[in-house]
Amino acid sequence: MNARLTLCSAFLVFAAIGCGGGKPAEQTHTEATPSPGAAAIDPATVATINGTIMFDGTAPAEDKINMSADPQCMALHTDAVYTQHAVVKDGKLRWAFIYVKDGLGSRTFPTPAEPVTIDQKGCMYEPHVLGVMVNQPIDILNSDETLHNIHAQPANSEQFNIGMPLKNMKQTRKFSAVEVMVPVKCDVHPWMASYIGVLSHPYYAVSGEDGAFSIKGLPPGTYTIEAWHEKFGSQTQSVTVGPSETKTADFTFKATS
C-alpha cells in the first residue's frame, strides 16, 4: 500500500507540473462554417457521403486482456475483456477513421470551442478511435479508482504524458497540427490503446459497430475520401457530390498476411 501511495504521489506531482502540452464512437458532423474570407458554404446545397466499412474473410481473433497486474481493473469487469484491434461483426468493421483527405481547396474552418472527450473507463479508452480538429480542446477523464497515465505520441505536435491517479480527474489538451493518426497509450496498463485523428476541417467520421459512417455538410465538389484502420491500413476513393446530393462510398478491408 505504501508503495502504491508513493507512486500515486509521484504522478500527482508529475501532473501538477504539466507533462506537455464525449463523443460517441460514430462521430459525424452535420455542418461547418468557413472562416471569414473563405469561400462560403451554402447550407441549402450541402451534400452527404454515407458508407459502410466491410471486411472480407476471417478477422484475426482478438486477444483476451490479462488485467491481473491491477486488481482494481479486474474488479471492474465480470466478463472477459478483449483488445479492439480488429472488431468485426457480421462482416462489418468497427473503429475505422474516415475523412476527407483532399478536395476542400483553400477553405479554412474555425476551431470548435466544444471539446471532444476521451475517458479512461474500465481500464480501457472510450472511445477507441476519435477525431478532433487542430487546437480543439480534448477533455481527458479518469472514471476509474486507479492510476492511469495517458501518453499521446504525435509526430507533428508536442507529446503529452499525464499521470491521473484519482477518479474523476480531468485534464484538457489539444494538438497543434494535422496528423492521421496519433497513437495514445497508458504507461501503467500496456493493453490500453487509442487513436486520434487530427484534421483542419470537420469532415470525418468513425465507423460504428455496424460498420456505417456518415460525413455530412460537404460543399458540392470532388473529394478524396480515405478510410484508415489501425491493423488493415488505408484505402482511398474519389467521390463527387452535387448540390444536396447523397452519395455512397463503401470500403472493403481484408486480413493482412
For position 18, which CATH number holds? 2.60.40.420
The pLDDT of residue 27 is: 56
241 CB burial (10 A radius; 0-12, 13-18, 19+): buried
Mean pLDDT is lowest, of 14-18, 100-104, 199-203, for 14-18
Instruction: Please tell me the predicted confidence (pLDDT) of residue 24.
Output: 42
Q: What pLDDT does residue 32 have?
A: 53
Percentage of the chain beyond pLDDT 70 is 84
Q: pLDDT digit string (tens) for 169-200?
A: 999 999 999 999 999 999 999 999 999 999 99
pLDDT at 38: 54
pLDDT in tens, 60-104: 999 999 999 999 999 999 999 999 999 999 999 999 999 999 999
Give the chain's count of helices (H) and strands (E): 2, 19
Is the model's pLDDT at 12 over the cut of 60?
no
CA 238 to each of CA 53, 98, 99, 100, 181: distance values in angstroms, whole numbers, following the listed order: 16, 13, 12, 10, 21
> Could you tell me the pLDDT band of residue 229, with boundaries at 50, 70 and 90?
very high
pLDDT, mean over the chain: 88
**pLDDT per position as a tens digit, 20-67:** 333 444 555 544 555 444 568 899 999 999 999 999 999 999 999 999
The set of cell numbers assigned to 254 is: 481484408
Q: What pLDDT is stored for residue 19 in this prediction?
A: 38
Looking at residue 257, what is its pLDDT?
A: 63
Question: What whole-number distance in Å separates Cα of residue 189 and Cα of residue 170?
Answer: 18
Give residue 256's pLDDT band: very low, low, confident or very high (50, 70, 90): confident
Contacts of 71 (CB under 8 A, 6+ apart): none
pLDDT of 28 reads 56
What pLDDT does residue 255 have? 85
CB 14 within 8 A of CB 118: no
- Could you give the number of structural domains in the chain? 1
* pTM for the model: 0.85
- Which domain range does residue 146 map to? 2-254
Between CA 160 and CA 21 the distance in angstroms is 6
The label of the residue with cell 476551431 reads 111
